[in-house]
Amino acid sequence: MTNLLLGNFTPQTDAHDLKSRLQWGQPAFTIVDVRTRQSYNQGHISGAIPLPVDELVKRATTTLAKERDIYIYGDSDEQSASAAKTLRDAGFSRVSELTGGFSAWKAAGGSTEEV
């Protein structure tokens, strides 16, 4: 079992771990895509919500509980890390960066959608 299945929540998450959590049907988490709307529309993780970086804190604060498990990904690990730090600084305590982002998710065989 992975760390996520055992209940440990880490600042970075591997695509395979997140995929396992989805497959096990674990509740109470949100996947956030911080890329541009255009990138999101071209393809994103199934079920991910678009919260572009420039709207991130404002929209997250009004739509997500601060203690909710949040997995965040962007165009790069640097963008994901920056967005995760922004959320943590805004009081969100359980934020994890999806290492490798959308491309790592696709490589792991994760489910995707296009708008």
Instruction: Give me the mean pLDDT over the 82-109 stretch.
Output: 96
Residue 8, SS3?
Answer: coil
Instruction: Give me the mean pLDDT over the 85-107 stretch.
Output: 95
**Residue 2: is its pLDDT beyond 70?**
no
Residue 6 lies in a domain: no
Q: What's the structural domain count of the chain?
A: 1
Residue 97 lies in a domain: yes
pLDDT digits (tens, 9 = 90+) for 52-63: 999 999 999 999
Mean per-residue pLDDT over the chain, rounded:
90
Residue 62 lies in a domain: yes
**Residue 1: is its pLDDT beyond 60?**
no
Residue 51 lies in a domain: yes
Band the pLDDT of 7: cuts 50, 70, 90. low
CA distance 91 to 36: 24
What single letter denotes the amino acid at residue 36? T
Residue 28 lies in a domain: yes
Residue 16 lies in a domain: yes
Phi-psi category of residue 90: left, alpha or beta, with phi > 0 → left and psi -120 to 50 → alpha: alpha
Phi, psi of 72, deg, nearest 5: -125, 140
Residue 63 lies in a domain: yes
Residue 2 lies in a domain: no
Band the pLDDT of 9: cuts 50, 70, 90. confident
Q: CATH number of the domain that 33 lies in?
A: 3.40.250.10
Instruction: Give me the mean pLDDT over the 75-89 stretch.
Output: 95
Domain residue limits at 101: 12-113
